[in-house]
């Protein structure tokens, strides 16, 4: 807090402004500038905003009250916090009230006693410093960031626990943890308010809570959804946009990056690595319902399958009751992990995955032999074909229309249900919370060891790390599981 207070004197009378300047400089460590009227003052304020303004009420072109109202018109603007002392030759109560109502913070009447002028300015100085303190602390806090978390892409149960646990482990190591407010987009924008400082320890949080941008991460361990993430940011596919993000990372002197998300997030951070010095450590934690990262379990997959299977069980019960056919779209953009395992867990009759080859005639013949049926279709089923032909139907609707093209009349009522996004907001179950803890701890260990470009992996209880250059994002399914997912046309 050693920066000098900046004072702007707005006064048409040169002798008066000179007297004010001499009095203030003689007694205070300040920076002083002078303007002859409100219009000149506005131009100077736009270039460099002062902390305190001593302003004459009656001036040509733009008087003091007009200037005051202009500065205070937007309460959210930084200019609204400027401390304004209005000065007038008239000691009228109506003038005083008019100025205070217009946004002035104090009112003095000429001739002004030098001691009173100093006393009023010192009051403004104290208030200005109190107002500036959080902003200065924020500027210092986000000027240099240690470890930064980036979350992007579709939401999955477990984002928040991962955030909490990685903050806890790194904080225990004496590291400072930050996060982007809106994924890769915040890195590209690069302003201080695009970031958050994450704090796990309650005592430390109390110390820093007054600073804007400080966020208590501990409660996230039990929260649903993803507090610190954005929707997918398509512009990040562009090289010039990635370079802007890299420039922000270098400017903020970031030492380590931990990206959290699915295959799209991995591709984003992997591309970003090419624009960064190798000295910046980079890690990736897979959090995705569809388990679209190969070679590991992914945080969110257990909850996703559990909730997805329960939803299908409800369709199964309704199908039996009303003797109808449900074709239900489930998550599964590339490999169809979620659709497959939700089908298996609920004992649905058929899983149609992105790469499944279907004999539609055989499916129609089998349906007409049944009173009820539930078919699970992954959202990625023939997605390229649908996009190429401009088809807006969801995967379930598209699959049903393919069945109709067989020209076999279907006997039962068919209901197509789109993907239900409430699965994303499910509370993470114990398996996903446990997996989140293990992966967060392992990443902290990798960082401490000085390694980089690694993803923690857990599969069949075994823990290991996969280098970025060995990560694949097409989690193919075993043939025997595909056999189990077809109880409809099975010979």
CATH of the domain at 44: 3.40.50.2300
Does any domain span residue 51? yes
pLDDT in tens, 72-127: 888 878 788 899 999 998 888 888 898 998 899 999 999 999 999 999 999 998 88
Does any domain span residue 173? yes
Q: What local confidence, expressed as pLDDT, does residue 313 receive? A: 96
CATH of the domain at 229: 3.40.50.450
pLDDT in tens, 429-460: 999 999 999 999 999 999 999 999 999 999 98
Positive or negative torsion for Cα 355, 360, 365, 370:
positive
Does any domain span residue 473? no
371: three-class secondary structure by DSSP: coil
229 and 255 belong to one structural domain: yes
Whether 491 shows a pLDDT value over 80: the answer reads no
pLDDT in tens, 318-357: 999 999 999 999 998 888 899 999 999 999 999 999 988 8
Cα atoms found within 13 Å of the Cα of residue 29, Cβ hemisphere only: 4
Domain end call among 141, 157, 178: 141
386 and 322 belong to one structural domain: yes
Q: Nearest 5°: CA angle at 193, between 190 and 195?
A: 70
Q: What local confidence, expressed as pLDDT, does residue 238 receive? A: 95
59 and 120 belong to one structural domain: yes
291 and 316 belong to one structural domain: no
195 and 91 belong to one structural domain: no
User: Greater confidence, 398 or 4?
Assistant: 398
Cα 334 from Cα 354, distance rounded (Å): 6
Alpha-carbon radius of gyration of the chain: 32
Q: Of all residues in the chain, what percent carry a pLDDT higher than 70?
A: 97
Domain end call among 81, 110, 141: 141
Whether 210 shows a pLDDT value over 90: the answer reads no
Residues of the domain holding 314: 304-424+479-484
pLDDT in tens, 154-209: 789 999 999 999 999 999 999 999 999 999 999 999 998 899 999 999 999 999 98
Task: Select the highest-mean-pLDDT range: 291-295, 368-372, 476-480.
Answer: 368-372
CATH of the domain at 408: 3.40.50.460
442 and 293 belong to one structural domain: yes
> How many separate domains does the chain show?
3
Quickly list DSSP for 190-242.
--GGGEEEEE-SHHHHHHHTTSTTEEE-GGGGG--S-SS--S--GGGGSHHHH
Q: What local confidence, expressed as pLDDT, does residue 1 receive? A: 43
Does any domain span residue 474? no
Is the entire prediction scored with pTM above 0.75?
A: yes
Does any domain span residue 63? yes
Q: For the sheet containing 413-417, what is the strand order?
A: 350-352, 373-378, 324-330, 413-417
pLDDT in tens, 248-292: 999 999 999 999 999 999 999 999 999 999 999 999 999 999 888
Cα 281 from Cα 278, distance rounded (Å): 7
Q: What local confidence, expressed as pLDDT, does residue 475 receive? A: 62
Q: What local confidence, expressed as pLDDT, does residue 60 receive? A: 82
165 and 252 belong to one structural domain: yes
End-to-end CA distance of the chain: give it in Å, rounded: 80
Does any domain span residue 255? yes
Does any domain span residue 398? yes
pLDDT in tens, 24-44: 999 888 899 999 999 999 999
Does any domain span residue 468? no
Domain end call among 83, 109, 141: 141
165 and 294 belong to one structural domain: yes
What average pLDDT does the segment 242-253 reach?
96
204 and 70 belong to one structural domain: no
290 and 157 belong to one structural domain: yes
Residue 103: phi and psi, rounded to 5, are 115, -5
111 and 154 belong to one structural domain: no
135 and 183 belong to one structural domain: no
């Amino acid at each position: 807090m050693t920066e000098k207070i900046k004072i702007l004197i707005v006064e048409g009378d040169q002798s008066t402004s000179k007297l004010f300047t001499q009095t203030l400089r003689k007694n205070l460590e300040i920076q002083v500038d002078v303007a002859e009227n409100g219009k000149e003052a506005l131009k100077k304020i736009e270039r460099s905003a002062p902390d305190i303004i001593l302003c004459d009420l009656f001036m040509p072109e733009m008087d003091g009250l007009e200037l005051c109202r202009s500065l205070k018109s937007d309460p959210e603007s930084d200019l609204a916090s400027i401390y304004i002392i209005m000065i007038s030759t008239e000691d009228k109560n109506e003038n005083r009230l008019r100025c205070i109502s217009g946004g002035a913070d104090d009112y003095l009447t000429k001739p002004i006693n030098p001691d009173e002028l100093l006393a009023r300015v010192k009051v403004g100085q104290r208030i200005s410093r109190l107002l500036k303190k959080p902003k200065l602390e924020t500027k210092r806090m986000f000027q240099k960031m240690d470890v930064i978390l980036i979350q992007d892409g579709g939401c999955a149960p477990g984002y928040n626990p991962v955030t909490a646990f990685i903050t806890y482990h790194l904080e225990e190591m004496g590291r400072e943890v930050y996060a982007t407010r809106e994924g890769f987009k915040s890195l590209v924008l690069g302003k201080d308010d695009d970031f958050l400082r994450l704090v796990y320890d309650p005592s430390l949080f109390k110390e820093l809570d007054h600073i804007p941008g400080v966020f208590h991460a501990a409660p996230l361990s039990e929260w649903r959804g993803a507090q610190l993430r954005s929707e997918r940011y398509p512009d990040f596919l562009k090289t010039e946009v990635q370079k802007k993000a890299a420039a922000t990372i270098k400017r903020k002197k970031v030492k380590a990056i931990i990206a959290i998300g699915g295959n799209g997030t991995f591709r984003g951070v992997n591309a970003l690595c090419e624009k960064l010095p190798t000295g910046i450590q980079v890690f990736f934690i897979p959090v995705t319902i569809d388990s679209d990262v190969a070679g590991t379990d992914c945080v969110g997959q257990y909850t996703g399958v559990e909730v997805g299977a329960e939803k299908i069980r409800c369709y199964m019960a309704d199908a039996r009751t009303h003797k109808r056919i449900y074709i239900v779209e489930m998550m599964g953009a590339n490999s169809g992990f979620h659709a497959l395992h939700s089908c298996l867990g609920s004992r649905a009759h058929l899983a149609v995955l992105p790469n499944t080859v279907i004999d539609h005639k055989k499916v129609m013949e089998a349906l007409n032999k049944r009173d009820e049926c539930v078919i699970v279709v992954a959202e990625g089923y023939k997605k390229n074909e649908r996009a190429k032909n401009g088809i807006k139907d969801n995967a379930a609707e598209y699959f049903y229309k393919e069945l109709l093209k067989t020209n076999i009349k279907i006997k039962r009522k068919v209901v197509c249900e789109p993907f239900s996004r409430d699965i994303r907001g499910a509370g993470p179950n114990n398996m996903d919370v446990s997996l989140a803890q293990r992966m967060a701890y392992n990443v902290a260990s990798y960082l401490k060891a000085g390694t980089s470009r690694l993803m923690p992996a857990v599969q069949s209880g075994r823990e290991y790390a996969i280098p970025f250059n060995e990560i694949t994002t097409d989690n193919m399914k075993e043939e025997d599981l595909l056999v189990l997912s077809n109880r409809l046309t099975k010979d």
